Chain A
C-alpha cells in the first residue's frame, strides 16, 4: 500500500494501477468532451447578500438618506445605466455584462419574507413556501423528473467541503460532494462493491447508508476516468470559490455527464463592518465567475453552461449601528452565460416606497426565476417541482 502523501502528489490513473481495470485507462484517453446537454451551475451566496450595495440605485434619494457609512460614492460605481450601477468590486461581472453574458434579475424574493437564515434558505432551496415533502430540493426534485446521466455520473455535484445542500435532495437522483478530483478515489485494493453489493429499495436509515455507499463506489469508478485528463491550467483567482469553479470546469472538460453543479460562497451575513467584507466577497465572486466562463469559452464548453447566483435574502435599506446591516427581504439574482439576454430584468426596488417593516418590497417571485431556468434552460417541467405554475421571465436568447 503506497504512502498517502505520495498518492496525493501523483493523482493520475497510473498511480491507481492496482485498482483500475485496464479498459478504463484506455477509455479515459479516448473520451471526448460531451457536446450536448445543458448544465446549470448554482452559486449560493450564503448569509444574505446586500443587494442594495450590489446593484446600487444611486439616484434613489433613499440611498443617501439611509446609507451613511455604507454609501458607495456614485463615481466609483460601474454604471449600468443612468440610475443603477454595480459595486466597484464587480469588475469581472461588469465585463460579462458588456460581453452580453450577464443578466441581473432585480427585487427577487417571496411573499411574507422570512428573516431567519435557516427558514429562508429552506424556502429558496426547496422552492416551496412550506417545507417540501421528504425534504426535496428544487434541483433534486427536478432531476428526479429527468433521466440520470447515461455514463453513471451523479445527477448533481457539490463542489466543496460542505454538507449536501437541501436543494440537491431528490428521491432517487444521486448527488456527490468533491473538493479535488482525487477526493473520490479509494486508497487501497479492496473490492468494496463485491463485499457489500445488495439490492435495497427500502427507505429506512440502513438502506439509505447502503445505497449511499454503493453509489459512492460507482461515482468513484466513473471519476477515475476523469482523473487522468490534463488541465492546461486556466488562470483562476487564488480563492476558495475560484478553486470550486475550477473543479467544475475540470469535470466538464473531463466529459462528466452531471448536469447540475453547486458551490457555496460564505460570509455574506454582514451585521458588522460591512464595507470591507462585502467588497472582498463581491470581488471573489466576480473574479471567479469571469475566470470560469472564460475558461469554458476557451474549452468551447461555454455554450452549454448557465451560472445562477442567489442568496437567501437581501438586507434592509437602513444600516444598523455597527456599520453593517441586519436581515432583509428582496435581492438580485445573477445569471451568467452566453445564452442569457444580457441586462436588467424587473424593476429596481425603491428605497423609499418600502414594505410595512421598512424593507424593500419584493418585485418578482423567485419561483418565476426557477420556472424559467428549469423549463427554458434545463428542459425540465417546473410545476411538479414548485407545486404550481409560475409566470416565466424572458431570460434567454432563443
Chain B
C-alpha cells in the first residue's frame, strides 16, 4: 500500500505546490502590472514611499507627453516595428513552410545533410557577425533603413526546422501522391494540400517570429543610427536615456510597446505554450 502512495505522491498537488506556483506566477506578473501602474500615475510616483500599487488617472496626460516627445519618435517607432515584424513574420512563415515541406515530404539528393546544416546554423551565434554585416549594409546603402533589419531575418533555421518537424507528421503522404497522380504541380500541392495541414504550426511560428522581431534590440541598435527613424525598442532606449526625471512617461512608453504582445499572448497563449512545448520534445 505504501508503495502506491509513494508513486501517487509524486503526481498529486499539495497546498504547498499551489502556494509555490501562485508565488511564482505573481512574481512573473508583478513587474508588468507595476509598469502599467506607473504609466497611469504622475511622475512623482517613483519617489513615493511606500510605492503606489494601484492605477492612477494620469494615463491620457502621459500618453500626450510621450507622443509629443521631440527625442523619442515613439509613433514612428511603433509603426516601424509593425512594418518590420509584420513583413518578417509573413516571409518566415512562407519560406519556412516551403522548405519544411521539401525536407519532410519531397525526396532529393543531400536532403539529410542539408537539414543537418540547418540545425547546425541554429547553434551559430550569428550576432557576432555584426561588424561585417554593418559594413555590408553600408555598401548596400541600407544603413538607417528598415531593409537592413528586415532582409537578414526573412527566413530562419528555427522556422524551417519547426515546419519540417510538424509537416512530417501532419501532412498525409498519400494525399500528396494522389494529387500528383491528378497532375498537380509541386507548388499547387504545397498550396492546396500542405499549407492547410500546416496551419496550426504556421500560426505558432508566426506568433513567435512576430514577438522576436518586435522585441529585437541589438541589430537595430547597431544599424539604425538615425534617431528620427527608430524601431519601438530604440524609442524606449532614447526615452530611458534622456527622460529619467519623468519615469511615468518612460513607463507609458514601455507599457504601450508591450501592450500589442500582451494582447496577442492573452488571446493565443495556449497555442504559444503548445508550440514551445512541442518544439522542445521534438528537438
- To the question of whether A and B form a pair in one complex, the answer is no
Binding site for A on B (CB under 8 A): none
Chain A residues within 8 Å of B, Cβ to Cβ: none
